Amino acid sequence: MTNSMLSASFYLRKDVEQLARALLGKHLHFRDMVVRIVETEAYRAPDDRACHAYGNKRTPRTETMFLPGGHAYIYLCYGIHHLFNIVTGPKDEAHAVLIRAVEPIKGLEKMRQKRNYPKKDQSLTNGPGKWTQALGLTTALDGQSLLTDELFLTKGETVSDSEILTSKRIGVDYAGECADRPWRFFLKDSDFVSKK
């Protein structure tokens, strides 16, 4: 059954870097829409200064990251954009993978409508604030399980290592040496990877 929902054990793995890689090519289903993940970034408390939960800091916002793997962590960035992360690892280890870009697979017309009809379909979903708007994901869904009928992942297409490129994470220059960690992963052949 290649089309069945990914189970809790997938998200509970402890190595968030490997999980960020493994998420490429997976399909994300939200209501009647489907997208394919093409760009991810790993964030890991407590040692990663770029992570909101650096030092295992708990705030009303970061509390979601301490949930067991398999939940959505959605927060507001720059007061405007809703950014979507997948919580990974066991409970109380605040690891998460930011989904930075996706390719639309199903529900294109609905996405165009929510994004106010951009000229190119690429700009529907080629950025972390863009694709969440295209699907209508907001902080209202923060903390929701990814093992529900409304929101879940499936295996999608298998991706080989030769199709994956790596770089430093984007927009985390404030994080000192941690900013140099090669924890951004993306598919080299996708037209939907975010622009610098």
- Name the residue nearer to DNA (CB basis): 58 or 155: 58
Q: Residue 99 forms beta bridges with which residues? A: 40
- Name the residue nearer to DNA (CB basis): 63 or 163: 63
Angle at CA 37, nearest 5°, toward 53 and 136? 75
CB-neighbour burial class of residue 12 (10 A; exposed 0-12, middle 13-18, buried 19+): middle
Residues 6+ apart with CB under 8 A from 191: 103, 122, 126
Helix (H, G, I), strand (E, B) or coil at 41: strand
Helix (H, G, I), strand (E, B) or coil at 87: strand
Q: Residue 42 forms beta bridges with which residues? A: 97
Give dist(CA 22, CA 185) in Å, integer: 10
Q: Which of 28, 98, 111, 135 binds DNA (CB under 7 A)?
A: 98
Residues 69-88 close enough to bind DNA by CB under 7 A: 73, 75-81, 83, 85
CB of 69 to DNA, least distance (A): 14
Stretch that binds DNA, among 5-13, 28-36, 48-56, 143-151 (CB under 7 A): 48-56
Site string for DNA, 115-154 (x = CB under 7 A): x--x----x---xxxx------------------------
CB of 158 to DNA, least distance (A): 26
Tokens linked to 21: 């890689």
- Name the residue nearer to DNA (CB basis): 16 or 149: 16
Asked if 52 is part of the footprint of DNA (rule: CB under 7 A), the reply reads: yes
- Name the residue nearer to DNA (CB basis): 49 or 155: 49
Phi, psi (degrees; rounded to nearest 5) at 44: -145, 115
Residues 14-33 close enough to bind DNA by CB under 7 A: none
Contact footprint for DNA (CB under 7 A): 41, 43, 50-52, 57, 59-62, 65, 73, 75-81, 83, 85, 96, 98, 115, 118, 123, 127-130, 169-172, 174-175, 194
